[in-house]
Each structure stands twice: as C-alpha cells, then as structure tokens.
Amino acid sequence: MRPHHIRDILFTREQIEQRVKTLIEEIAGSCEAENLVMIGILRGSFIFLADLVRGFEQHDLHPRIDFITLASYGSGTESSGSVRILHDTNENLAGADVVVVDDILDSGCTLSFAKDLFLKRGARSVRTCVMLDKQAKRTVEIKADYTGFPVEDVFVVGYGLDYDNRYRELPHIAEVTFGEQDR
Ligand code: XMP
C-alpha cells in the first residue's frame, strides 16, 4: 500500500442516508416489481445494496437478491479495462427485471460488462444503479439509470469503497490523498 491519508469527507453519513432514501423511491416508482432481481457487484456494493433493499418493504417490493464478484482492478487505483468473473450469480435471470448495483461508475467497463452478461442470460430488462458517478474517467459509453452523486476524478473510500480492501466500513465517503507529506 502506498503512503496515504483519508482526509476530506465528500459525502457525510447523513447526505448518503438522504440520497439513498430518494433512490429507493426512484427505483420503486419505476421498476417492474413482479420479477425483480437486485444484483450487487461485489465487493464494493454490499453496504449500498443492503441500505437500498431495507427500504423496499414499505413500497411492497420483494426482489430476489444476488451477487456477482467482478474484478477490473488489482490492488492499485487504476482500472485494467478487462473484467473477469470471480464468483457468479445463482439466480435464474430468464424474464427477470434486473437492477445491477455498484458502488461507483468509473471507466464504465464493469457495469457495461454486467449489463451485457445479464441480458445475454435472458433478463427482460437490466437497469443500473450506482452510488457515485466519476464521469471524467469514462471509456465505455454507459449512463446509470439511478445515480447517488456525481464525483470528481479523485480516489474515494468508505460506504463499501476501498483502498486495498480497507476503509469499506466508513459510514461516509472520503477522498484518499497519496504521499508522505502532511498538510
Ligand atoms: P469501472 O472502471 O469498471 O470501475 O467503471 C468500477 C469499479 O472500480 C472500482 N473503483 C473505485 N474503487 N474508489 C474505490 O474504492 C474509487 O475511487 C474507485 N473508482 C473505481 C470500484 O470497485 C468499481 O466497482
């Protein structure tokens, strides 16, 4: 791990809670409830997906829930561009209305890979939901159907996002600064 500091909080716990609440309403207001499957991309989406689905009951939404583990990053902070399946989903997706959930949309490789994969497996529709959208880094043309917040081109951690698999537990989202020096 490179020397680094976690300093500036970009989104507080309260801001995240508020935004998640409105995302739940957006999803509930626009999704086909009958055959809904929520699929989280691991590991970054685990907190976000859990927060989203806990708000579903009051909208009478009872989706199937599944996960897929995809890798496009090593232990560094740059996308490798190619995506691999490390652990696959279990649910039958034929005819399903899928919502894929990820922590952050960066180059777009991961989300467009997942979307194509689930469509190929027979999903009737695939929508995408991300907590953060780092638009500056997009190399693949994709726009999420539901987005929490846009974010600048900085490396962020917390609320499921990690640096070298650490800091996922932070209740807020913060910027990582790299280097030895103190500010
Ligand atoms: P792509 O480039 O495929 O990347 O859109 C999506 C995946 O890259 C990870 N990612 C980040 N993880 N802080 C993180 O902790 C970041 O700033 C960041 N940017 C991209 C993330 O796992 C996402 O699923």
Element (H, E) at 156: strand 156-157
pLDDT in tens, 33-72: 899 999 999 999 999 999 999 999 999 999 999 999 999 8
CA distance 172 to 148: 13
31 token code pair: 């999704």
Ligand 1 centroid to Cα of residue 50, in Å, is 19
Q: What is the DSSP letter of 164?
A: T
Cβ of 27 below 6 Å from ligand 1: no
Is the pTM here over 0.75, yes or no?
A: yes
70 lines ligand 1 (CB under 6 A): no
Mean pLDDT of 127-137: 95
Taking each helix axis from N to C end, the angle separating 46-54 and 13-30, rounded to the nearest 10 degrees, works out to 60
pLDDT at 79: 62
Separation CA 84–CA 86 (nearest Å):
6
CA distances to 53, 77, 165 from 1, rounded to whole Å, are 33, 11, 10
Indicate whether 173 pLDDT > 80. yes
What mean pLDDT, rounded, does the chain reach? Answer: 93
- Which one of 73, 78, 143 would you pick to mutate in the ligand 1 pocket, going by the greatest count of ligand atoms within 8 A of its CB? 73
Residue 46 Cβ < 6 Å to ligand 1: no
Q: Is 88 a catalytic residue?
A: no
pLDDT of 1:
83
Mean pLDDT of the region 145-173: 97
Tens digits of residue pLDDT in 75-131 = 456 666 789 999 999 999 999 999 999 999 999 999 999 999 999 999 999 999 999
Q: In which order are the strands placed within the sheet that holds 36-42?
A: 84-87, 64-71, 36-42, 97-105, 125-133, 146-150
Q: What is the pLDDT of residue 72?
A: 83
Range scoring the smallest mean pLDDT among 15-24, 27-36, 46-55: 27-36
Atom of ligand 1 nearest to the CA of 110: 3
Residue located nearest, by CA, to atom 21 of ligand 1 = 104
**Ligand 1 nearest atom to the CA of residue 109, by list position:** 3
Calpha distance 148→15 (Å, rounded): 10
Residue 73: predicted pLDDT: 58
Q: Where are the domains of the chain?
A: 14-151
Catalytic residue among 51, 102, 106, 162: 106
How many residues are there in the chain? 183
**pLDDT tens for each residue of 141-154:** 999 999 999 999 99
Let me know: does 104 contact 72? Beta carbons within 8 Å.
no
Residue the block writes with tokens 């190619």: 82
14-151 CATH choice from 3.30.70.260, 3.40.50.1820, 3.40.50.2020, 3.40.50.300: 3.40.50.2020
Q: Cα separations (Å) of 161 from 7, 38, 78, 99, 106?
A: 15, 19, 14, 19, 12
Residue 137 pLDDT class (50, 70, 90 cuts): confident
